[in-house]
Amino acid sequence: MRKNNIFFIDPPYTAGGKKAGRRLYTHSQIDHDVLFSLAEQIQGDFLMTYDNTPEVYALAREHGFDTHIVLMKNTHHAEMTELLIGRDLEWARE
């Protein structure tokens, strides 16, 4: 992988017992800790999106990633938050 590659990672939201990913995707079972370990190995930059849960936040901190909470609306227009994860999300705070 080249350092000038940028990855967008949007896994099924199943961490912390969430069910949306299981309901929406045929292949929703993933090892979230392994995914975070793989993201650590990316030489370029990445942006990962996840449910804003304590379990995901802990994984991000454990792997040394920056986090930022953003507001979003689901398909039923209910407001909720989502967690952005990356190496440096200062741009998201501006």
Q: What does pLDDT average to over the chain?
A: 86
Q: Using one digit for the tens of pLDDT, what is the confidence trace for 3-27?
A: 788 999 988 776 655 555 556 656 6
Which residue, chain included where needed, has tokens 């449910």? 51
Domain layout of the chain by residue ranges: 6-88
What amino acid is encoded at 14 in this protein?
A: T
pTM for the full model?
Answer: 0.81
| pLDDT tens column, 49-68 | 998 999 999 999 999 999 99
